[in-house]
Amino acid sequence: MINLTINGKAITAPEGSTILEAARANGIDIPTLCYDKAVEIYGACGLCVVEAEGIPKLLRSCSAKVSEGMVVNTESERVVQSRKIAMELLMSAHDGDCVAPCQLNCPARTDCQGYVGLIANGEYDAAIRLIKNKIPLPASIGRVCPHPCEKACRRKNVEEPINIAQLKAFAADIDLNAESYLPDLMVRTGKKVAVIGAGPAGLTVAYYLNIMGHSVTVYDMMEKPGGMLRYGIPQYRLPKEVLDKEISLIEKSGVEIVCNSKLGRDFTIESLKAENDAVIVAVGAWKSSSMRTPGEELEGVYGGIDFLRGVIKGNAPDIGEKVAVCGGGNTAMDACRTAVRLGAKEVYVVYRRTRNEMPADKLEIDEAEEEGVIYKFLTNPLSFNGENGKVKSITLQVMELGEPDASGRRRPVPVEGKTEEIAVDSVILAIGQKLVQSDVSELKLNERGNIEADPDFFNTDIDGVFAIGDATNRGASIAIEAIGEADRCAKAVDAYLNGKPLDTRVPYISKRDESKIDYSDREKQSRLTPKVLAPEVRNKSFDEVSLGFTEEEAKAEASRCLECGCREYYKCKLLNVAQRYDIDPGRFAGEMPQKYSHDENAFIERNSAKCILCGLCVRSCREVMDIHAIGLLGRGFTTDVSPAFALPLDQTKCTNCGLCVQLCPTGALTEKANLKKQVPLNEEYTEQKIDIDGKKASVLVSRYNGKILRVIPNDDLSRSMKLSREELIEKVK
Amino acid sequence: MRIVIGQGSCGIAAGAEKVKKALLNTNINAESITITGCIGMCWLEPIVDIYDGDKLTRLVRVSENDAEAIAEYVETGDESKIEKLVVSDEDSEFLTKQTRIALRNCGIINPDEIDAYIGADGYTALKKALGMTPEEVIEIIKTSGLAGRGGAGFPTWFKWNAARQSAGEEKYLICNADEGDPGAFMDRAVIESDPHNLIEGMLIGAYAIGAKHAVVYVRAEYPLAIKRLKNAIAQATEKGIIGDDIFGSGFSCDFTIKAGAGAFVCGEETALIESLEGHRGMPRLKPPFPAQSGFWRKPSNINNVETFANVGWIINNGGEAFAAMGTEGSKGTKVFAVTGKVKRSGLVEIPMGKTLRDVIFDIGGGMKTDKPFKAVQMGGPSGGCIPAELIDTVIDYKALGATGAIMGSGGMVVMDESTCMVGMAKFFLDFTAKESCGKCIHCRIGTKRMLEMLERITNGEGKEGDIELLEELCYSIKDGALCGLGQTAPNPVLTTIKYFRNEYEAHIKEKKCPSGECSALIEYKIVPEKCKGCTLCARNCPVDAISGTVKQPHVIDTDKCIKCGKCYQSCRFDAIVKE
């Protein structure tokens, strides 16, 4: 035995063993990407380098042998720098997306590709479980979300994005109408948390903290929970029955909701703090913003959310026959379409820019128009004119579009001296909403007049009091933004309650350069949208406009997904090492190797753009299997792994033994899952013995949500049998 | 009289074959016309040496049209016939100032005749060595201080001894003749001009380490070298010098040649072994070293051509005689292939301890044009540049290493003030990036990223921090690359940054190329006061970017101009300037 020191720890190792073997045997992890016991030492990745006292060169620990008295440092500054640059270089030439852009653009980081893919496969139960990891109110959010995911969806570069939001609603509706999914709860911690506000933010943070084992009570000032989802969104867009069902599931999972209980009236933050281990303020923004236009105080001028709330509560104001809605967002659309449904004859939408600049969802804009709404683009109210204190008309300043502003939209500028007047019975100002500051007088506000909360930890100026959602920082935003914050806040509060540190670093992931992606090989396939009620029917009714996807439609729509995110994301060794070091591959950004040889057979899919040339596939095919189905091609930066003579895998001697796939440290070689549409899923791998001709053979079985997705031969016997996947799955069963 | 025509590849390229044909067509007795290998005076090729007994008359830059004049001289002895062809005294100094050991027979004997070699004391060293024990041979090599001439400078005896000590009956002695540095041709000259010297050196080495198989790995781009070596092996085999029981000593050794397929990395010894075994030329991780596990996993020793070319001489003259030349750390002589902006380019063998000035100015005759000497690139893409202020650096492994350059295998590219050092570094890096085998990350991607940065800089797209980032990457590649190719690839960049940082800064900050070589950063302009309106530039311009009327100053349309420099070169009035 040899005595040596690694990272200050005295260890012994058998003579002839490598530093890597000695370190790993003693629980010291040295990263590697090209090393595997099954094949000969290769030394390509250079990540296993270590420093040894008295040796000027860095040693590759996979090959350097231990020697008596050796003093090794596996994490010295020089070693870390070497690994870091190796990873930066490697990732600068790794042309792949770890995570799909839809997921990255979702403020809640919902795994859109995951559930869309599961829906395409008809795996609705798994889909809802995946969704509920991030959104506890998917049927509601699916209906109302302005879906930033779809804006990032690359399918738009082929024709149109995937209808992600509606697919979510589809899966969630199936769950609501059957035996609904309830999350497994963690061991109870005995900690108590109070949440103020039962809107999307409050309900979400409560849902996840409850799952984490804490007892959560949500207090809400209104008679029913749901916040803006209930009181800000009209029935025809989000039926309250759907919302009720979803909230009742949250309650069923263990969250207590107390309504008609208002901050400042029934309790204070201080009083809640005294009874709880943490308090989360999620009170929302319940005041309509002013336009600072003369005449706003006139009778018949209403705030957008005040108007919508009144209608929902059953005490709609008398808006008369001619209604003008000011604003171009989704609240304006909700207001004008509600006004139509209340029987108004002429409903105008006054917006200072044009249709193209409207922040509202395009579908909403179109559907409102179908329902008879009249758009007054490029106009801005100069004054609301009244008679006897009641609004009678609006004077509009005619605008034109000038230079683009900071948001990239062209700035509206008044056309000198050009005005217009329209007669109205009422005006609805839908230009934004604000926090009611008097409610949160106990907390420090920022210069915008919102609660100041840390963007990572969500703590306020009072210890143990956290704040999220529309009431905080930059003010009101969309529901999914609040849900994302709530999810992260739950983790922060959990860490706070457990006295554990919270890692707020955004882990590195690889992203492809969007501008360099070629879609010319994709077949065009139009986007499907659920059928809707006819305009002449729906403009008289508060029934839900959308009829939702049929199963057939949902599967077809979900199947359009381009599968941008990497299937190996959950077990990618490359990403694991990349995230271990604080890397910035952008420093070395340059040309990509332009290797796009893509090839697949029934089992194996090859994507050489992601290949890191560790050589494990080539070597295992040659050294272990003696098959030589793949080899290295070319030289230098464009070196590629390719089947012999660049033939498709099926035309080589490949026996689908799966060894290369098993050893590939990244997504260059993947074993296809037992699914029609391939989906990146956090599969569970277990080793299992199967019976082959009376002998026991080892296989690796991956399962997801109970379903067997892949069976990978794991020893010489199972590899040599050339069994088809169906046969393997049959044997595992 | 004997007429000897220099027929190395360089001579043939210059027209030596045509000269030979023309001479054979004269009335000179065909039997008196023979060939020799490379004389080493590249700039004077084709060369014809006329021996009258021991008296040598060297004719240079001979063309086939000179054949008759030469024939007349041979017939009549009338020196006036060849007066204008005779080499100048000054040029002759190129050879007389050298000390030739490895090249001792080059350009003198006929490489196709084993007897010519034997006549020059050939194979006496082998005979002598076979009379000693292998340990004694190794001891002589140790005394000589001979170090690997391929570039790394590792003590030859140590490698021989390690291979000798390695367990196993089956061992291999391998000659690395995969000479790939741009501008280097020392090994080619030795094989083409004196193949038996290589064979003798290798046989002595094989005997010393206990190998029964000798292999020469030579690049396929050296067809003449392969041809002459094959011929030499056949002749030596016929004479019993190669084969079983050589000289009755009981020592047997066979010889094979493997032609490399043109990958630079195969000059790296472990990649060379992979290639020999029929695999893709990629380096293996060391340890194990070839002395333990090499060709076919057997103990193997690999030396460069020039290393072997010294061995016979050392055995015959003793290790001390070799060690008497050179410096404390570097013994014997070294061959350099001197090229570039130097007046006399060719092969130079000098004792270690001479200075760069001795090679470039004393022997090489200084600069070709009136532009001053700027720097010399030593060791090709693996080496570095040494600036003018270090011209008195001594040729010694340590002293050269201290400058950031290396001794290298002998490539010496001389540059004057017209060379852009950033462009020079880019040139070599482009070479290594393309020749990277693609195995390790640092080399495969690192050199590519460095090249991209250099391309940006020379295109005027460099940005603040690029030099520091380049340096960071350079040091990381040196530390992390798997083999010598990658580990040394950053040297040209590091040394040019070290000595010419101001040039990098000028490219990045001022978007200017001080030497005017980077076309993206220069503009050609006509100085109206100097332009006579001769129209020559306009007629030479390939893209019609120059306009003007006769006898009036012309103008360059900079939008059309492709910066080819034709106008600049053609103007007789210096009216065109680069800015």
ipTM here: 0.90
Residues 6+ apart with CB under 8 A from A89: A585, A588, B441, B442, B445, B446, B449
The residue-averaged pLDDT of A446-472 equals 96
- pLDDT tens-digit map of A317-348: 999 999 999 999 999 999 999 999 999 999 99
* CB pair distance less than 8 Å for A82 and B439: no
Residue B480 touches partner A, C-beta closer than 8 Å: yes
Cα A129 from chain centre: 14
How many Å apart are CA A237 and CA A230, to the nearest integer? 11
- Select from B462, B575, B467, B478 the least CA-distant residue to B528: B575
The residue-averaged pLDDT of A607-614 equals 93
Residue A63 touches partner B, C-beta closer than 8 Å: yes
Distance from CA of B431 to the nearest CA of A (A): 10
Residue B436 touches partner A, C-beta closer than 8 Å: yes
Residue B328 region, left (φ>0) first, then alpha (ψ -120 to 50), else beta? alpha
Supply angle C-alpha B242, B243, B245, rounded to 5. 110
Residue B481 touches partner A, C-beta closer than 8 Å: yes
> Which one is the CATH code of B114-323: 3.40.50.11600, 3.40.50.11540, 3.10.310.30, 3.40.50.720?
3.40.50.11540
The CATH class that applies to domain A192-286+434-498 reads alpha beta
Supply the pTM of this predicted model.
Answer: 0.90
pLDDT at A124: 97
Interface probe with A: pick from B277, B479, B483, B485, most Cβ of A within 10 Å: B479
Q: Which residue of A has its CA nearest to B285?
A: A43
| Token pair belonging to A541 | 């009714």
pLDDT at A176: 96
| Average pLDDT score, chain A | 94
| Token pair belonging to A696 | 């026991």
pLDDT at A621: 93
Distance from CA of B479 to the nearest CA of A (A): 7
Residues on chain B touching A63 (C-beta within 8 angstroms): 285-287
pLDDT tops 80 at residue B176? yes
Residue A674 touches partner B, C-beta closer than 8 Å: no
Q: A426: which strand partners?
A: A323
Number of C-alpha atoms within 13 angstroms, CB side, residue A421?
8
Of A82, A587, A637, the CB nearest to B444: A637
Q: Which long-range contacts (CB under 8 A, 24 or more apart) does A725-732 make?
A: A725/A602, A725/A603, A725/A672, A725/A674, A728/A690, A728/A699, A729/A674, A731/A690, A731/A691, A731/A692, A731/A699, A732/A688, A732/A690, A732/A699, A732/A701, A732/A708
* Statement: A101-182+508-558 belongs to CATH 1.10.1060: yes
Of A58, A92, A613, the CB nearest to B480: A58
pLDDT tops 80 at residue A597? no
Distance from CA of B440 to the nearest CA of A (A): 4
How many Å apart are CA B109 and CA B49, to the nearest integer? 12
* CB pair distance less than 8 Å for B285 and A43: yes
Residue B464 touches partner A, C-beta closer than 8 Å: no
| Token pair belonging to B311 | 């061995």
Confidence of residue A596 (pLDDT cuts 50, 70, 90): low
pLDDT tops 80 at residue A313? yes
| Average pLDDT score, chain B | 95
Q: Which residue of A has its CA nearest to B262?
A: A635
Q: Which residue of A has its CA nearest to B446?
A: A89
pLDDT tops 80 at residue A89? yes
CATH number given to B523-578: 3.30.70.20
* CB pair distance less than 8 Å for B437 and A639: yes
Residue A43 touches partner B, C-beta closer than 8 Å: yes
Percent of chain A at pLDDT > 70 equals 100
CATH number given to B333-416: 3.10.20.600
The residue-averaged pLDDT of B12-32 equals 95
| Token pair belonging to B172 | 């291999």
- pLDDT tens-digit map of B253-267: 999 999 998 899 999
Residues 6+ apart with CB under 8 A from A575: A98, A508, A509, A510, A569, A666
Distance from CA of A507 to the nearest CA of B (A): 22
Q: Which residue of B has its CA nearest to A46?
A: B480
Of A41, A63, A637, the CB nearest to B448: A637
The residue-averaged pLDDT of A438-442 equals 92
Confidence of residue A601 (pLDDT cuts 50, 70, 90): confident
DSSP state of A332: H
* CB pair distance less than 8 Å for A635 and B435: yes
Q: Which residue of B has its CA nearest to A616?
A: B439
How many Å apart are CA B302 and CA B295, to the nearest integer? 10
Residue B79 touches partner A, C-beta closer than 8 Å: no
User: Listing from the earlier edge strand, what are the strands of the sheet with B346-351?
Assistant: B346-351, B333-340, B411-416, B373-378, B384-387
Q: By the 8 A CB rule, do A260 and A223 touch?
A: yes
Q: By the 8 A CB rule, do B533 and B552 touch?
A: yes
- pLDDT tens-digit map of A232-265: 999 999 999 999 999 999 999 999 999 999 999 9
Residue A449 touches partner B, C-beta closer than 8 Å: no
Residues on chain B touching A41 (C-beta within 8 angstroms): 285
How many Å apart are CA B435 and CA B355, to the nearest integer? 32
Strands (E), A358-436: 374-377, 379-387, 390-404, 410-423, 426-429, 433-434
Cα A522 from chain centre: 25
Of B436, B447, B480, the CB nearest to A86: B480
Which B positions 260-279 lie with beta carbon below 8 A of chain A?
263
Of B282, B452, B473, the CB nearest to A591: B452
Percent of chain A at pLDDT > 90 equals 88
Q: Which residue of A has its CA nearest to B430?
A: A636
Would you mind telling me the total number of residues written for chain A in this entry?
Answer: 733
* CB pair distance less than 8 Å for B440 and A93: no
The CATH class that applies to domain B421-510 reads mainly alpha
Of B436, B442, B480, the CB nearest to A636: B436
CATH superfamily of A289-431: FAD/NAD(P)-binding domain (3.50.50.60)
Token pair 């209906």: residue: A143
Q: By the 8 A CB rule, do B353 and B397 touch?
A: no
Rg over alpha carbons for chain A, rounded to the nearest Å, is 30
Residue A81 touches partner B, C-beta closer than 8 Å: yes
- Select from A213, A299, A283, A296 the least CA-distant residue to A254: A213
- pLDDT tens-digit map of A641-689: 988 788 888 888 888 888 999 999 999 999 989 899 999 999 999 999 9
* CB pair distance less than 8 Å for A615 and B440: no
Residue A38 touches partner B, C-beta closer than 8 Å: no
The residue-averaged pLDDT of B272-281 equals 94
The residue-averaged pLDDT of A352-381 equals 95
Q: At what angle do helices A240-252 and A164-176 cross, to 10 degrees?
A: 60
CATH number given to B2-92: 3.40.30.10
**Regarding the domain delimited by A2-75, which CATH topology (the fold level of the hierarchy) does it fall under?**
Ubiquitin-like (UB roll) (3.10.20)
* CB pair distance less than 8 Å for A86 and B473: no
How many Å apart are CA A152 and CA A103, to the nearest integer? 9
How many Å apart are CA A72 and CA B574, to the nearest integer? 65
The sign one gets for the Cα dihedral A312, A318, A321, A324 is negative
pLDDT at A650: 86
- pLDDT tens-digit map of A374-396: 999 999 999 999 999 999 999 99
